[in-house]
Structure 1
């Protein structure tokens, strides 16, 4: 197997699906990449943002063509942790911003009557600003009460899939899992949606899993300055 095999866009029902979006969509149903220690280079799904998505025994590196195949291969990526090596990530990011290593979780939308409403007043929330820096088409939602600052972001994110993020208002008596369930009503029924959660954020991780999300991979993003 050629470990640096390049993957192009995969035709899908919603147009060209990014290879990482394709593999995450399959993971929802338990169909994972081969556990072969391999890795694959793909084009970034968003201009100015690169990253590594690692599954059990297989990894995907979304890196701009500015980095040659030889340079990338020489950094020693592999599907058994090498593609997420901090030295590799640091080399690719240069002096640019590097995000935390996150767990990737997947679920399907619930559809139906939305449990949340658009909240443009939350657009300047730090979590919304972070989402805007690495995702596209970011929309902010929350509960109708104007004094409730619980935030849900819905955007085009990892691999071109819908991505959800949230932060509950500590002044309100919200259960995290219920906020996640309410967020899923914003996503069309059965459409794949992803979320990223820091491994140490056990409270958020438990909330996503209690609401039906399943962990399938890890992701680390960076905005390169080389």
Structure 2
């Protein structure tokens, strides 16, 4: 699949304040990563990234719509089959700042649980942190939702980095002006506040799954 993925395009437009029409409709697109499917929902408009073994008729029969139907747990469960289903997350966008990053590559953090989780759903995951070897603050930078750069983070409580500071420092890992995404569970209010304080803006929701279904889908 060449070129810019439609999900990357719509998220990039949202980062500039250009949102989809609030018309209750939904669209189907190809998955942006083999083995990972998902639903991206904006206010009144949704995208379903589902492989072609699921027919258009099956999708329509599950009653997706842009007003929450595309994220209905029954729809997600039907499409995932017996496969793993991720939490429903808020999608936030920001722009890279470039410059001299405070974060440095930290291959010793590669086995951190958050880095391992990133590997399950994203590509080209690289782990960063601060230079002090006893500081286990983690930032992952990967190819994520729609093929855009995606960051994830976890602070080390033994050190005095605020979540907002870490989220802001992560933007320096991405060239200036390039759109960056982050996904955060809505119940993780501390992380959500940190991203917003660092300048990330919530624009949509996303839920991912690794499908394991029979061929009748």
Q: TM-score scaled by structure 1?
A: 0.93
The separation in 1 between residues aligned to 2:190 and 2:11, in whole angstroms, is 23
Deviation per residue, 1:84-125 (Å, 9 max, x gap):
000000000000000000000000001000110000000000
The separation in 1 between residues aligned to 2:161 and 2:99, in whole angstroms, is 21
The separation in 1 between residues aligned to 2:184 and 2:50, in whole angstroms, is 22
Partner of 1:107: 94
Partner of 2:204: 217
The separation in 2 between residues aligned to 1:125 and 1:161, in whole angstroms, is 22
Tell me which of 191, 195, 205 is aligned to 1:208. 195
Tell me which of 35, 45, 58 is aligned to 1:71. 58
1:172 Cα offset (Å): 1.1
1:65 Cα offset (Å): 0.2
Between 173-182 and 157-166, report the one with greater CA deviation: 173-182
Are 2:140 and 1:186 equivalent residues in the alignment? no
Partner of 1:197: 184
| Structure 2 unmatched runs, 5+ | none
Deviation per residue, 1:102-152 (Å, 9 max, x gap):
000000001000110000000000000000000000000000000000000
1:177 Cα offset (Å): 0.5
Tell me which of 118, 131, 150 is aligned to 1:144. 131
Partner of 1:59: 46
Following superposition of structure 1 onto structure 2, how do residues 76-91 of structure 1 map, counting pairs within 5 Å?
A: 76-91=63-78
The separation in 2 between residues aligned to 1:120 and 1:108, in whole angstroms, is 25
Aligned-CA RMSD value: 0.8
Partner of 1:6: none
The separation in 1 between residues aligned to 2:157 and 2:86, in whole angstroms, is 25
The separation in 1 between residues aligned to 2:102 and 2:169, in whole angstroms, is 5
Partner of 2:145: 158
Moved over 3 A (4+): none
What number of residue pairs does the alignment pair up? Answer: 213
1:173 Cα offset (Å): 1.3
The separation in 1 between residues aligned to 2:118 and 2:125, in whole angstroms, is 7
